[in-house]
Amino acid sequence: MRDSITLDSTRLQRLQQTPLWDFALTLYARPGVEAACLKLQEEAGLDVCEMLFHCWLYSCGLEAEPRALAYQREQRHLWQCHVTEVLRGLRQDLKASAAESESVKALRETIKQAELMAERENLQRWQAWASASPSDEERVVNVVEMSLDVDKWLLKQLFLGRCARQGEGGIKEQNEWLDSLQTLTCQLDPHQGAR
């Protein structure tokens, strides 16, 4: 293994001391991040939890190992499809009715809380996966070079092993996605994880 990617114990310790859920709540609350995440979710088909996961790793000076990431991504995608998106769909379907009925409004709020709990569970599973690295499978590695173009780094991480949606304006869409990713990544300290 090259020395440049040998895991740094300081980075792993930072990862273990910073719960992904807490990191995600803090980042998501920063100006423009929520809107950028939702835009990327709707227009690029990206998973907000995975975006926040990669930002968390990067803030600790780490990145996911591509081969190990593929299986975990599939598991997290299944959770999102079968649990989180079902709850989100129910909540959205009840929006109009909630405006006319207090009991439906209360039901919708309960579903909203369940959706949030599903997102939290998904993030906790991402964190457990990154933290519990068995000796036969390296899951996270040091970011070899902390990039000034963190938005491009994040785009690469999110599209590892999958094709980007290419509509008529594929290049234009990717530039818009980079703008949204830059909104996320400008909130990260690119030097924090490299110390």
Query: Which CA distances in Å does 60 have to 19, 159, 184, 190?
Result: 11, 21, 15, 9
pLDDT of the chain along its 195 residues, tens only?
Answer: 334 445 667 777 778 888 999 999 999 999 999 999 999 998 888 899 999 999 999 988 889 988 889 889 999 999 999 999 999 999 999 999 999 999 999 999 999 999 999 999 999 999 999 987 655 678 888 886 666 678 888 888 887 766 544 444 456 677 778 888 888 888 886 544 433
* Domain residue extents for the chain: 3-185
Q: Is residue 84 helix, strand or coil?
A: helix
The contacts of residue 87 (CB under 8 Å, 6+ apart) are 111, 114, 115, 118
pTM passes above 0.85: no
